[in-house]
Structure 1
Amino acid sequence: MKAKRFVFFFVILVLIIAVLWLLNDKFKVISFGGPKTPGYHYTIGEFKKEDLGIFDRKTGKTIYLGMKKEEVDKILGKGEEVNDMVKMHEYPGKLQIKYRLDQVCAIRIGDDTDGDRYLTPRNISKQNNQGEVKVAYGNPSSDNNEIVDYFLNKDNETYRLIDSLPSDRDKRTTTFIIDFTYGEGNKLNIYIMDYLFAQTFQ
């Protein structure tokens, strides 16, 4: 009798722990410390709005294209404008963001960006090679020994992978590029940007 009662209470305890774990995974009520990871569930070869962002492991937040500067500053702190031609804003950990009309139009993880802090929502960081990028994202729109690019076209709220960039100038703000560029020493730069920025740096 005691054994059955023990088994019953043990099963109940396990079920309670499982439910609490699932609820915490969704609502993040309990923090277990350490760097956070993206909770983005994706399908290889398919794309969503979440792909047009960079995840910050320190805050557990994602910075997206289209986000207002005020929102970004609340998450990362106030950035400093880099004094160069592109005029991006640099944030802690040397993440760089370009604004157009006070909204994010490009995000850059560069050679000197904190690779342990910032990564894509598909867990790709500066440490990943081209093969690992393709495993996470699928077949690219364009690639060679140095570059792996994904071109996305937005139609309403649907993002579709396209083979080439459009010639229609009106589509430059509804076409997006996820760019992985490998430089000297196989150092990775990650750009997430709209096509207008890719053409004009503005």
Structure 2
Amino acid sequence: MIEPNAKADPPKADLLRYLQSARDALLWKLDGLSEYDVRRPLTPTGTNLLGLIKHVAGVEIGYFGETFGRPFFDAARVPAWYAEDAEANADMWATADESREEIVGLYRRAWEHTEATVAALPLDATGRVAWWHEDRNEVTLHRILVHVIADTTRHAGHADVVRELVDGTVGMQQGNDNMPPGDRAWWAAYRDRVEDAARKADNG
């Protein structure tokens, strides 16, 4: 939900609209899948759907929290995966004890925190990204919104590919798949044409 102050500011509303579109696309990729399928790694580097959600939740919590002096977590309740001394990639996968509902719920609460920060501050408000190099870590809210939109959209693209690998489901948004029409036979023939062109190009 976009806060009233953000709605009254067209540039803020535009930025939040693009961010929400990417958020919704990511969550949609979980629909209809088993616990195993939302968690299983589908690339050599372990990319998985629920891990992507956990990661982008942490991204919003950090960039719209600590960066602008508006921390999301109570200092005594920072989860192990988010702590400074967390193991590598702890935010990119879900443990067996972390439920889908818990991670999705955290992401939705992060949205509320983001939107409260955006409503409370002007786009030229400055903050500091502690984990960026000191020669570029002073930022504006506008820059961080653009950065997080780009990051979330990139991960939505990862989710597109992972979901297709899980069960063949494709599409950009629920109700708007943004795909050309075609049944399985059409897509199989299309893929064969692409493969044939690649082999011909490789053979010179």
More helix as a share of residues: 2
Task: Name which one, 1 or 2, has greater alpha-carbon Rg.
Answer: 1
Task: State the TM bucket, normalised to the shorter chain.
Answer: under 0.3
Normalised to the residue count of structure 1, the TM-score between the two structures is 0.24
Specify which structure has the higher proportion of strand: 1
- The answer to which structure, 1 or 2, has the higher relative contact order (CA under 8 A, 6+ apart) is 2
